[in-house]
Amino acid sequence: MTQTIATQEGAYLEAFRASLRTNGAHREPSWLGALRQSAMDRFMELRFPTARRGNEPWKYTDIRPLAATPFPMPAASGVAPTRQEVRLATFGEDAWHTLVFVDGRSAPALSSLKGLPQGVLVTGLAEAIASSEELVRPHLGRYAPCQDEAFVALNTAFLHSGAFVSIPDNAMVEQPIHLVFITTKGQEAAFHPRVLIVTGRDSSATVVESYLGAEGSRYFANVVVEAALGRGSALRHYRMQRQSEAAYHICNTQVNLTENSSFTDGNYDFGGGLVRNNLSLLIAEEGTLAQLHGLYMPTGDQHVDNQVIIDYHKGQGTAAEVYKGILNGRARSVFHGSIIVQPNAAKVSATQEDKNLLLSPDCEADTKPAFWIYCDDVKCGHGAACGQIDPNTLFYLRSRGLAEATAKGLMVRGFAAGILDAIRLDPLRGHVNDIVQARLEEWLGQQV
């Protein structure tokens, strides 16, 4: 297997060289070419982080099947979805600012960006580099760690398609910005979407990412998101992941917070065969607020792995982190959360918890919340729990006349209620609620 993996890493190197001849790299600025080449060199040094190499962060997630698969670059899209199909597959209202990508390419005909406030820029990343290089260059590739993460390095090497969101100082974007990434049927390729979000001082915005794939399609989505928050700004960020259950979805998100900025993040995983989410927050200045929540509902042989790191370099900050999993079939989930309080980060108040409800005797949840505290005068707490439906509570509900499926459904929905209530966008909350309801009806055998 080691030789096979090395061969496929070489295949990515050949694809990288070919991409330089086909994606218009010769017309782009030299700094971008240098960034790509440096990232490719680093990927070839790091190689895929397989468990066999003793890589602790990947201990419970075996990516050897992904690493051994020669995913090519995407071909030209076949029949693109219609605007109505995009509307049905997502949940945004017509007033939302929507930027759509189909099979890794921008789809202007399916996008709608009318009514953006003065100075707000929402566009494709390649277009932003061409028209607004002065806004992109100071941030692109400056936050997500190419040196440490092979998948970030691989994404950066193929950096071309993606979204750029720039919110100027004092701008208030009332309607959400919706970034939609769709993979059509028949694509068996590697996609490397890149999202860069920059918020100015005292600004406010909501960004929603949706990742959708035709069921049965086998592909590799390698996503990187970088977000730089200006002082006093507020960014509400949500991600809906409904990839094909035959697909691989790897996502690295790096968020840098400055003085008095706030970041709200919601992550909802319902698709993908193997899913890995790395979310890292760097707290560079005082007075920050971070609220993180996630819900994952794997079934069958799905595997979902969430790694969340909050690194406090300055204190006077607050963080609340809650993730919940509902597992069925032979599914497996992994959660590893680390909150790091550096020596000069006093008066941090932070909590984290991960709870898992196992609906099948064949599913498994591995959870490891942790704190690394290097100073005094902090208030921190963490917890983790894995369990099945409480038989005593189930008996109580059934003794009141409820059918078994209905009683179980009430208990599971009660378990998920806190995560659903944390979603501040009504259309998104309704969409997640409908998915939870549909899955429970499928899993429990009747309407619940």
| Better-scored residue on pLDDT, 417 or 51 | 417
Whole-number Å distance between alpha carbons of 140 and 197: 9
**Is the confidence at residue 446, as pLDDT, over 80?**
no
Token pair belonging to 410: 């009430």
Do 428 and 208 touch, CB atoms closer than 8 A? yes
Give yes or no for residue 46 having a pLDDT over 70.
yes
What is the reported pLDDT for 26? Answer: 64
pLDDT at 374 over 60: yes
The CA–CA distances, whole Å, from 157 to 17, 36, 88, 141, 312 equal 10, 4, 34, 10, 29
What is the C-alpha separation between 348 and 341, in angstroms, rounded? 8
pLDDT above 90 (res 51): no
Can you say whether the dihedral through the CA atoms of 263, 152, 305, 243 is positive or negative? positive
pLDDT at 54 over 60: no
- The percentage of the chain sitting over the pLDDT mark of 90, rounded to a whole number, equals 82
Q: Is the pLDDT of residue 78 over 70?
A: no
User: What's the rounded mean pLDDT across residues 39-56?
Assistant: 83
Q: What are the CA-CA distances from residue 245 to residues 47, 73, 402, 439 (Å)?
A: 25, 20, 33, 14
Instruction: Give the tens place of pLDDT for each residue, 169-195.
Output: 999 999 999 999 999 888 889 999 999
428: left (phi over 0), alpha (psi -120 to 50) or beta: alpha
| Identity of the residue numbered 327 | L
Average pLDDT score, the chain? 92
Confidence (pLDDT) at 82: 83
- What mean pLDDT is predicted for residues 249-257? 98
- Residue 68: which of 146, 142, 143, 2 has the closest Cα? 2
H/E stretch holding 416 reads: helix 404-421
User: Do β-strands 220-229 and 190-191 pair in parallel, antiparallel, or remain unpaired?
Assistant: parallel
* Residue 4 scores a pLDDT above 60: no
**How many other β-carbons are positioned within 10 Å of the β-carbon of residue 216?**
11
Can you give the residue ranges of every domain in the chain? 2-285, 390-448
pLDDT for 266 equals 98
pLDDT at 1: 45
Once rounded to an integer, what is the mean pLDDT over residues 200-205?
Answer: 98
The whole model's pTM is what?
Answer: 0.95
pLDDT by residue (tens digit) across 387-439? 999 999 999 999 999 999 999 999 999 999 999 999 999 999 999 999 999 99
